[in-house]
């Protein structure tokens, strides 16, 4: 089973269903070494990034982690909020048995 929630490399929480949109829980698939600069579409060169961060990064490789974090949307989401989003997107809520009753974030 793939997790519905995860953190991008900068620590931003993103929701699996929200890909290609512009909200704080949305994500894009990013080429670490940009495709336009010869980067390959391989697992090692791709990562999930919050959409706003990825779009501000563009094809640049000179931005530091701190600069990218500053581009992040601040998005505080409670376990209940996650449950409601899952329910509306998938029609149910999946809890990890060891997650203490909340949604699992990988």
Domain map of the chain by residue range?
5-90
In this prediction, residue 100 carries a pLDDT of 47
In this structure, what are the phi and psi dihedrals at residue 30, rounded to the nearest 5 degrees?
-110, 140
In this prediction, residue 101 carries a pLDDT of 46
Cβ neighbourhood burial of 100 (10 Å; 0-12, 13-18, 19+): exposed
Q: What is the pLDDT of residues 23-77, one digit of tens each?
A: 999 999 999 999 999 999 999 999 999 999 999 999 999 999 999 999 999 998 9
pLDDT-based confidence at residue 1 (cuts at 50, 70, 90): low
In this prediction, residue 95 carries a pLDDT of 77
8, 53 contact by CB (below 8 A) = yes
In this structure, what are the phi and psi dihedrals at residue 105, rounded to the nearest 5 degrees?
-115, 125
In this prediction, residue 98 carries a pLDDT of 45
Query: What is the pTM (predicted TM-score) of this model?
Result: 0.82
User: Could you give the CA distance from residue 23 to residue 26 in angstroms, rounded to a whole number?
Assistant: 5
């Amino acid at each position: 089973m793939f997790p519905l929630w995860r953190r991008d490399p900068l620590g931003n929480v993103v929701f699996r269903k929200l890909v290609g949109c512009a909200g704080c829980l949305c994500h894009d698939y990013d080429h670490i070494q940009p495709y336009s600069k010869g980067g390959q579409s391989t697992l090692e060169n791709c990562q999930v990034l919050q959409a706003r961060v990825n779009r501000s990064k563009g094809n640049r490789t000179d931005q530091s982690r701190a600069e990218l974090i500053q581009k992040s949307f601040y998005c505080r989401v409670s376990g209940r909020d996650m449950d409601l989003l899952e329910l509306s997107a998938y029609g149910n809520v999946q809890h990890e048995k060891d997650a203490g009753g909340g949604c699992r974030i990988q």
